[in-house]
Amino acid sequence: MSKSGFRTFPAHIQAIVRVVQSVFTTGVRPDRALMLEFQRLGRPGARDRAVVAETSYNLIRHWRLWWHLMEAPPATGETQLKKLVLNYLDLLHQLNENAMSLEFWLVEQKKLCPPAVYYSVPDVVWQLGLDQLEQDWEVEVAAQNSPSLPHLRVNSLKALPEVVVKKLSEESVITRPHEKFPDVLVVQRQGRNIFSTRAFREGWIELQDAGSQEVGRFAAPQPGDRVVDACAGAGGKTLHMAALMGNKGRILSLDVDPRKLHELRRRSSRAGVQIVETRSVENRKILKRLLGTADLVLVDAPCTGSGTWRRNPDLKYRLSEAWLQRCTQTQHTLLRQYAALVKPGGRLVYATCSILPDENQNQWQRFLEDHPTFEHLESRHILPSRHACDGFFMAAARRKE
């Protein structure tokens, strides 16, 4: 039986092994690995999806701890992974028999392990975090070792929150307002795949973490603004800003990956967004044409993702000093390039989904020192330990007249 009381079958075990194996051997993200596995299984039911996803994420999240308790080095071979899965499921059964939760049992293990092992963080990453955040590091790592419920953004161009809540409940998806951000809906129970609901198909909702939604609100685009979303990706923040603007103005969404921009165009159509134009940034010619034209430029920069470990636990095993240095150099370059697009009196907003100061306040201070034509307006930290969502940093500056 799983923690939720679902019966576990051999097919579940094989699916879990394949998901975990793909994450640690090919670098596939957990959500992507699960999607591919569910496609392979022929769209399994909600109960089957739940036990495979829940178990896979718990094994990835506590990867180092599980192997430590088994007194074996981490391994990704099929035989070793099957043994890991079976041991884990046997533990859940024992806990269930003794009316003990997995969360309580995990707390008890803290007395038996070094912190880096207990929190399943590589030693070098643990030290890097201590160097960056000191005593706050353990608090944030602990907060991110808990499962994350999905967050939804209601598309104000098409629907009202109360209508969405009612319609989702009719399709066995139960939601509640987020405790820190009442405009965000938290999925408490998912009786069916959210992407198959009418609310999603008709563009009433988007799957978007509360922290990510706060970036759009912090940027505060106004109706009629000319906005540049410099690192738009698949467009979660682009679509949110379009809704905040009431579909009035223009958003130019840029990215180096044409596939992500194709997805953004598809999502825009579903959401009823009509003010977005996409451009692939293949060279700097497009930036030259945009010099000094934007009311708002959002640089949601590539980063280590150290604030997203609740949803992306695999990232903590990939973090390194070298990766951090590459990210900070990229962020510095992007800020310098895209600041030039802001017109006099316009605003530049910088954001990352990191909790590391070198990517956040230190990076922003470096920009301000190098660009005296920009005056700092405000900055904000969203922390997993305080806000029950992904960690984000955001800062805004105005270009002087």
Domain containing residue 190: CATH number: 3.30.70.1170
As a whole number, mean pLDDT of residues 223-245 equals: 97
Of all residues in the chain, what percent are helix, strand and coil, respectively (each to 5)?
A: 50, 15, 35
Query: Residue 378 — φ and ψ, nearest 5°?
Result: -165, 160
pLDDT, tens digit (0-9, with 9 covering 90-100), for 17-59: 999 999 999 999 999 999 999 888 877 777 888 889 999 999 9
DSSP characters for 50-73? Answer: HHHHHHHHHHHHTHHHHHHHTTS-
SS3 of 271, please?
helix
On whether both 298 and 362 belong to a single domain, the answer is: yes
Average pLDDT over residues 250-264: 96
CA atoms within a 13 Å half-sphere pointing along the CA-CB vector of 200: 14
Q: Name the pTM for this structure.
A: 0.94
Residue 92 lies in a domain: yes
Residue matched to tokens 């019966």: 7
Q: Supply 9's token pair.
A: 């079958």
pLDDT score of 124: 95
Q: Which of 99, 120, 141 is the last residue of a domain?
A: 120
In a domain, 329, yes or no: yes
Task: Provide the residue count of the chain.
Answer: 401
Distances 104 to 92, 110, 111, 130 between C-alpha atoms, Å: 12, 11, 13, 26
Q: Is the pLDDT of residue 388 over 70?
A: yes
Statement to judge: residues 172 and 104 lie in one domain: no
| Structure token pair of residue 128 | 């890097």
383: left (phi over 0), alpha (psi -120 to 50) or beta: beta
Question: In the chain, what is the straight-line distance between the N-terminal and C-terminal CA atoms, in Å?
Answer: 65
Query: pLDDT averaged over the chain?
Result: 93
Task: Provide the residue type at 316 as one letter.
Answer: K
Which H/E stretch holds residue 296? strand 294-300
Q: Do 220 and 324 sit in the same domain of this protein? A: yes
pLDDT band at residue 4, thresholds of 50, 70 and 90? Answer: very low
Pair (169, 101) in one structural domain: no
Query: Same domain for 115 and 227?
Result: no
What is the mean pLDDT of the segment spanning 353-363? 98
Last residue of a domain, one of 207, 222, 238: 207
324 located within any domain: yes
Report yes or no on 283 lying in a domain.
Answer: yes
Asked if residue 285 belongs to a domain, the reply is yes
Residues 6+ apart with CB under 8 A from 285: none
203 in any annotated domain: yes
338 plus 220 within the same structural domain:
yes
Q: How far apart are CA 62 and CA 144, in angstroms?
A: 11
Q: Pick the last residue of a domain from 207, 236, 251.
A: 207
Report the pLDDT value the prediction gives residue 3, as an integer from 0 to 100: 43
pLDDT tens readout for residues 296-325? 999 999 999 999 999 999 999 999 999 999
User: Is residue 293's pLDDT more than 70?
Assistant: yes
Q: What is the pLDDT of residue 1?
A: 40
Average pLDDT over residues 239-257: 97
Torsion-angle region of 272 (φ positive above 0: left; ψ -120 to 50: alpha; else: beta) = left
Instruction: Over range 255-269, report the average pLDDT.
Output: 95
- The answer to whether residues 100 and 177 belong to one domain is no
Tokens read off for 272: 């009823």
Q: Answer yes or no: is pLDDT of 126 > 50.
A: yes
Q: Is residue 93 in a domain?
A: yes
3-state secondary structure of 254: strand
Q: Is the pLDDT of residue 5 over 60?
A: no
Residues 83 and 44 in one domain: yes
Q: What is the mean pLDDT of residues 52-69?
A: 95
Looking at the structure of the chain, the number of domains it has is 3
Q: Above pLDDT 90, what percent of the chain?
A: 84
Give the closest residue to 302 by CA, choosing from 255, 269, 342, 263. 255
Of the chain, the percentage scoring pLDDT greater than 70 comes to 98
Give the structural domain span for 175: 151-207
In a domain, 137, yes or no: no
Distances in Å between the Cα of 51 and the Cα atoms of 47, 56, 234, 377 are 6, 8, 29, 47
- Which residues are known catalytic residues? 353
Find the CATH number of the domain harbouring 341. 3.40.50.150
Give the pLDDT confidence score for residue 10 in this predicted structure. 84
Query: 377: helix, coil or strand?
Result: strand
Together in a domain, 287 and 349: yes
Alpha helices, DSSP H only, in 231-355? 236-244, 258-271, 285-289, 321-339
Angular region, 160: left φ>0, alpha ψ -120 to 50, beta rest: beta
Same domain, 192 and 220: no
pLDDT-wise least confident of 4-13, 33-42, 156-165, 327-336: 4-13
Letter string b/e over residues 98-129, b meaning 16 or more CB atoms within 10 A of that residue's CB: eeeebeeeeeeeeeeeeebbbbbbeeebbebb
Residues 216 and 364 in one domain: yes
The whole-angstrom distance between residue 190's C-alpha and the CA centroid of its chain comes to: 19
Q: What is the DSSP letter of 358?
A: G
Distance between CA atoms of residues 276 and 252, nearest Å: 6
**Per-residue confidence (pLDDT) for residue 285, from 0 to 100:** 82
- Kindly state whether residues 285 and 383 are assigned to the same domain: yes
